[in-house]
């Protein structure tokens, strides 16, 4: 295969890792480039946006992660790009103004540090030979040494270490090789320390991903871990990837347990993103997120509406007196609407929601929780 044949396979296989951009609106959704590779929008640390070439360096993998279609026991067409090939094809797309950044991951080839050496070599070629100063997101392979991680942080604009499961027990159900505490939690803590405010690599963004539904975890377990990742490790983003039944080994909980349909699994992923947004942007804590009697998020209602139904004493919220935090607890009111509301309130007393850009169900939902007098 030539470079572009391999890129077509490796770019397609990279779609299972979402820890770079979230498809929640038209701006964030991935698209295929002219050669079939995936291009991913991403928000940069300075608030701007970029389009990423996203690919694996290799789809060969020594790991046995049972949810992963690229695991060592599957029979798929394997291939790899060399660091020089990857750097050259990236620069070609860059010069054609198709892309502005790179998301690079890989299956584990040989050992974690051998794989990290190859990933870091691509970034080093781009930074030092091609003088590229733009956005590079590198995946940190579980089990990588501290030295390899430091080298990655010196080259990357962003890094991700996928936690995949909420805890060691679930990790053991999905992999016989990965050690949750040593291979995943330790690197996460190291990166958190090295990228904290005032440290040398504070400019580097950090993200992770959960695979949702491969094990028999519940949403409460995921949200608890997510809260810790934000509060204690100060990660920038947590992503969620609904497990796709049929891609994994037949003996894992995601294949043998439960009756969730593919549509339900995608709704579950969406609800976790909504809970994530409440924690990151709306002032909620992990303990605020409401669950049903099975410790899962409702598939029928978003978590903010569920919280409102469980706290009737909090409402109605006085629209002309309430602070920003209280207004953000009102179902139907989003971040932009609340900012518009506060700006309008500085000019005159509000007697209606007209002019705030709200329509239909959102408008009616918010009215049920607000008081104007």
pLDDT tens-place string over residues 141-164: 999 999 999 999 999 999 999 999
CATH number at residue 10: 3.20.20.70
Residue 239 within any structural domain of the chain = yes
**Residue given tokens 């992990």 in the structure block:** 286
User: Is 345 in the same domain as 242?
Assistant: no
User: Is 84 in the same domain as 208?
Assistant: yes
User: Is 222 in the same domain as 332?
Assistant: no
Q: Round the average pLDDT of the chain to a whole number and report it.
A: 89
Q: What is the pTM of this model?
A: 0.89
Q: Is the pLDDT of residue 25 over 50?
A: no
Residue 295 within any structural domain of the chain = no
Section 256-270 average pLDDT: 81
Q: Is the pLDDT of residue 29 over 60?
A: no
- The model's confidence at residue 357, banded by pLDDT at 50, 70 and 90, is confident
User: Is 39 in the same domain as 184?
Assistant: yes
User: Is 17 in the same domain as 140?
Assistant: yes
Q: Of 173, 283, 298, 275, give the one whose Cα is nearest residue 224.
A: 275
pLDDT in tens, 52-111: 788 899 999 999 999 998 999 888 889 999 999 999 999 988 888 777 889 999 999 999
Q: What is the dihedral of CA 106, 197, 22, 221, to 10 degrees?
A: 90
Are 227 and 178 a contacting pair, CB within 8 Å? no
Q: What residues have CB less than 8 Å from 342, skipping those under 6 apart? A: 324, 327
- The model's confidence at residue 343, banded by pLDDT at 50, 70 and 90, is very high
Residue 328 within any structural domain of the chain = yes
Question: Residue 112: what pLDDT?
Answer: 97
User: Is 164 in the same domain as 72?
Assistant: yes
DSSP 140-199: PPTT--HHHHHHHHHH-SEEE---BSSSHHHHHHH-SS--IIIIIIHHHHHHHHHTSTTS
Question: Residue 338: what pLDDT?
Answer: 95
Are 270 and 213 a contacting pair, CB within 8 Å? no
Q: What is the rounded CA–CA span in Å between residue 136 and residue 147?
A: 19
**How many domains in the chain?**
2
User: Is 204 in the same domain as 113?
Assistant: yes
Residue 271 within any structural domain of the chain = no
User: Which of these three, 231, 256, 281, is where a domain ends?
Assistant: 256
pLDDT in tens, 272-321: 999 999 999 999 999 999 999 999 999 999 999 999 999 999 999 999 99
Question: Residue 20: what pLDDT?
Answer: 57
Question: Residue 50: what pLDDT?
Answer: 54
Question: Residue 262: what pLDDT?
Answer: 78
User: What is the extent of the structural domain holding 362?
Assistant: 313-371
């Amino acid at each position: 295969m030539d470079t572009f044949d391999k890129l077509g396979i490796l770019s397609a296989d990279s779609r299972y890792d979402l820890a770079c951009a979230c498809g929640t609106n038209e701006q964030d959704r991935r698209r295929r480039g002219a050669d079939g590779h995936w291009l991913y929008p991403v928000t940069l640390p300075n608030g701007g946006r970029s389009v990423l070439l996203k690919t694996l360096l290799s789809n060969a993998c020594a790991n046995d992660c049972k949810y992963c279609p690229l695991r060592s026991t599957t029979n798929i067409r394997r291939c790899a790009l060399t660091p020089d090939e990857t750097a050259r094809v990236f620069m070609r797309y860059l010069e054609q103004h198709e892309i502005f950044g790179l998301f690079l991951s890989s299956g584990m080839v040989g050992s974690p540090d051998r794989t990290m050496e190859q990933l870091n070599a691509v970034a080093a070629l781009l930074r030092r030979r091609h003088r590229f100063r733009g956005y590079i997101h590198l995946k940190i392979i579980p089990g990588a040494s501290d030295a390899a991680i430091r080298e990655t942080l010196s080259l990357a604009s962003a890094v991700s270490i996928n936690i995949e499961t909420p805890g060691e027990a679930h990790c053991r159900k999905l992999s016989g090789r990965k050690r949750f505490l040593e291979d995943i939690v330790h690197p996460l803590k190291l990166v958190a320390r090295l990228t904290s405010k005032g440290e040398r690599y504070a400019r580097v963004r950090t993200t992770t991903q959960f695979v949702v539904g491969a094990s028999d975890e519940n949403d409460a377990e995921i949200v608890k871990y997510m809260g810790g990742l934000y509060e204690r490790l100060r990660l920038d983003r947590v992503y969620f990837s609904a497990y796709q039944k049929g891609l994994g080994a037949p003996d894992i909980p995601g294949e043998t347990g439960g009756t969730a349909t593919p549509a339900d699994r995608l709704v579950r992923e969406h609800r976790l993103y909504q809970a994530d947004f409440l924690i990151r942007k709306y002032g909620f804590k992990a303990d605020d997120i409401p669950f049903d009697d099975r410790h899962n998020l409702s598939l029928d209602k978003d978590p903010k509406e569920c919280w409102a139904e469980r706290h009737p004493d909090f409402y109605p919220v006085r629209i002309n007196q309430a602070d920003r935090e209280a207004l953000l607890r009102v179902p139907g009111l989003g971040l932009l609407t609340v900012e518009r509301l506060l700006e309008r309130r500085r000019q005159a007393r509000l007697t209606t929601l007209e002019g705030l850009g709200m329509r239909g169900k959102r408008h009616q939902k918010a009215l049920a929780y607000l008081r104007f007098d």
